[in-house]
Homo-oligomer: A and B are copies of this chain.
């Protein structure tokens, strides 16, 4: 959960926990579908289980927070795939079915949808797990009931009609967790600062204590095709980043050391949310004050004063849909179900604008 433990100290669970949990839910989901008479071969079950176990293996240090920062041209899904392919070679092709399922090219589409859809076991696991470890009980979802309501129709994963309110509840929980945890303003601020630390280090060619990290701080290296740098990338972890930040807290560059010290001593930048973009004039005033206070030149102050958008896509209307199978055999996307109980706002992405700036600037 990248920096979420700065706000929720309990949130120290790891990607290994999540992978095992999602695997567990996959086993349950497959068993449920089989109980309903869906044919799934032993190989397909194994493939789906392998795929979910490995689905996040391409994540680098601080996962989403540094995604596409250290490696510029590949997101974690692409890297997961590359790693799976590498293992597949070593195992003489025994991972091929898992890869096909992961990629979404396998004929039984529902297997892919269990791994990567809007109601997959990945999301179910992380919502319930993050809810537990943060203590944000509003994130609890009825994962066992949702799994009991799953079925397959025309080769696609569906939810039975009577599970419709469980799905709405799942989406409400998800939206809640986004605002309360994943996009919590302090968490967001810390993650954006982390990005700026790495960018600044690259810019001024600061050296990290870790030689592996140094490679990725080199812009030439980090923009190589990922296939050329995969072995190195796999050796990179949170330790490398945090050791660098600890070292750079003493770096002569004032911007880099300011950001690193702020992180280590948990004296983060301030952050403010707004429903509309911040006015340029307002941003200018804040930048000037920040420059004055920090002694950092105005032209470089955008390392300490910056704006951006946080978007909560509870449900993505453009992605593969959550399908409801009605008793009469009709199928509808959840967003098209004509039921006054379903909150239509769940299907609209909500955007908030933020500005980060150093403490001491009244605004």
A residues in contact (CB < 8 Å) with B: 9-10, 12-14, 16-17, 20, 136-138, 140-145, 165-166, 168-169, 172-173, 175-176, 179-180, 209-212, 235, 237, 239-240, 242-243, 246-247, 340-341, 343, 345, 348, 350
Contact = CB atoms under 8 A, between A and B. Distances in A.
A143 B211 CA distance: 48
A130 to B, nearest CB: 14
Contacts of A17: 9-10, 12
A358 B242 CA distance: 32
Contacts of A138: 140-142, 145, 165-166, 169
A249 B51 CA distance: 30
A180 B165 contact: yes
Contact of A345 (B180, B235, B340): B340
Contacts of A20: 9
Which 5 A-B residue pairings sit nearest by Cβ, starting from the closest? A209-B209, A343-B343, A243-B243, A140-B140, A138-B142
Contacts of A237: 246
A203 to B, nearest CB: 22
**Most B-side CB within 10 Å, residue of A212, A242, A243:** A243
Nearest to A249: B235
A243 B168 CA distance: 42
Contact of A210 (B143, B235, B243): B243
Contacts of A180: 165
A14 B12 contact: yes
B176 A165 contact: yes
Given A13-B12, A141-B138, A239-B246, A341 B209 contact: no
Contacts of A212: 246
A300 to B, nearest CB: 27
A9 B138 CA distance: 25
Contacts of A168: 172
A140 B132 CA distance: 12
Given A138-B169, A340-B348, 5 more contacts: A138-B166, A168-B172, A169-B173, A239-B246, A243-B243
Nearest to A166: B138
Contacts of A211: 247
